[in-house]
Structure 1
Amino acid sequence: MQLTGNNPKVEFTTQDVEIISKKTLFQGFFKIIQYRLRYRLFEGNWSEPIEREMFERGHAAAILPYDPITDQVVIVEQIRIGALEDQSPWQLEIVAGIVDAEESSEEVVRRESIEEAGINIGRVMKITSYYPSSGGCSEKLDLFIGEVNAAKAYGIHGLKYRGENIRVLVMNRKEAYHLVKEGSIENASSIIALQWLELNHFGLKSRWNNINK
């Protein structure tokens, strides 16, 4: 593919990647795969063969529970292995879970809302889908916002057989967004969802209230 002009339109597909070999390096709860491949360059020719390791995590879904009546959100707090070297490995997050083969993303976030926060989700709206770390991980995450009665969100939850100990926090939308701005919320799905809500809460409340009428 030859590039011309200042802003050429370049569209690549899986046809522009040649997988030379694929080998499983580790198989446990998650999997690590080593790829040897070459790919089409922007100049039009092919790259030299390269090797990359990929963390095969599966796909996930997350939801920001939001009460449009009280303008409150439900946040959960739990220990996270990836943050063990941080000042505190307890992370403030939205509800999330891994998508199994027999479940849809919406089914996952509804189930996880009960397991992690003890709440039932009403109406659901999809915000976006994205790759949290496509440089080395196959995971793609579907992100939602869901209607909830925040007054019913409280207590400690989680599945004990998974070692979960999850605390539920209810806070005003502005307070939650302040935690994003000051850096107290550090994971991508929560930051994206709370930023989306900050930009769209007027329209969201109007839409859901109109449906109620």
Structure 2
Amino acid sequence: MQNFVYPRLALNPRVAGESMNIHMLYGEPYCTAGNCAGTPFRTAILCAAKLFYVSAMNPRITDSRLVYDGWYKLFRLEIAMDEGVTVERHLLDNGSAVAVLPYDPVRRTVMLISQPRAAVLAAGHEPLFEAIAGNLDRAAPAERICEEALEEAGLTLGALEPVANIWPIPPVSTERVQLYLASYDTDSIVGPGGGAPDEHEFISVHEIDLDALKGLVEAGDLPDAKTLVLAQALMLRHPELRR
């Protein structure tokens, strides 16, 4: 039996070479550690990743200070890392959110919105195509997104199809965004949308066909992350909508 060390595990030789104890057996890599003895290579890699995390990663927050309290909260953190190293990190507490990409399977269209965004304006870009979205504000995601669809796009939603609960900016933000797909039809369009008048969102509503959406995805012209994920999910989950 020939010893084998997967190169990416060499970040932690103790885990890769000793804890994992990966060997070549009849030309195939296998793990011979206690609970995963004889495990095929792909499962062994997952085992190694877990061992690496447990043995080499034990960060903890040792100090948290509120430095800004407005629309969002911004904290300055101190995090104790391995080997006695303490690092400064910043944490943006902006709650959690929900987003939906409505699609009409008969007319082969999707409903998107656009609105002025401070970061996009600061970068000198035109407003982005976006999925309908909103902050949870302690509401259930399914309840909130139906309210947002009506408010932003004048749209009532069909059955919600959960896609994922993503971390859009994990290095700095607490935000999670629950993503949904939902069907609609012409009878579902019951109002003009545009957002709540007292929130001054200046939302524009766009209904585009699926071929145009596919073109945006393939050309890299759908840069809003949640919207890109939802567009790809629609293309993967509903191949019957392709022509």
User: SS where residue 93 of structure 1 aligns?
Assistant: coil
Q: Report the TM-score when normalising by structure 1.
A: 0.83
1:158 partnered with 2:221 = no
Provide the residue aligned with 1:209 in structure 2: none
Q: Structure 2 CA distance, aligned partners of 1:87 and 1:148?
A: 34
Which of 116, 119, 136 is the equivalent residue of 2:155? 119
Q: Mean alpha-carbon deviation: is it higher for 79-88 or for 2-11?
A: 2-11
Which of 172, 177, 180 is the equivalent residue of 1:141? 177
Which of 15, 20, 23 is the equivalent residue of 1:3? 15
Provide the residue aligned with 1:188 in structure 2: 225
**Structure with larger Rg:** 2
Structure ranking higher in helix proportion: 2
Which of 71, 75, 78 is the equivalent residue of 1:36? 78
Q: Structure 1 CA distance, aligned partners of 2:140 and 2:59?
A: 29
Provide the residue aligned with 1:82 in structure 2: 119
Q: What is the CA deviation profile of residues 135-159 of structure 1, one whole-angstrom value per residue up to 9, with x for unaligned ones? A: 1111111110011114654745111
Gaps of 5+ in 2: 1-11, 23-44
Provide the residue aligned with 1:210 in structure 2: none
* 1:33/1:54 contact within 8 Å kept: yes
Percent identity, aligned pairs only, is: 22
Aligned partner of 2:127: which letter? W
Q: Structure 2 CA distance, aligned partners of 1:195 and 1:150?
A: 23
Provide the residue aligned with 2:69 in structure 1: 27
User: SS where residue 53 of structure 1 aligns?
Assistant: strand
* 1:155/1:167 contact within 8 Å kept: no
Q: Size of the alignment, in residue pairs? A: 198
Q: Structure 2 CA distance, aligned partners of 1:86 and 1:52?
A: 24
Q: Report the TM-score when normalising by structure 2.
A: 0.74
Q: Mean alpha-carbon deviation: is it higher for 165-174 or for 196-205?
A: 196-205
Alpha-carbon RMSD across the aligned residues, in angstroms, is 2.4
Q: Structure 2 CA distance, aligned partners of 1:17 and 1:203?
A: 46
| 1:201 CA drift (Å) | 1.2
Q: Mean alpha-carbon deviation: is it higher for 80-89 or for 31-40?
A: 80-89
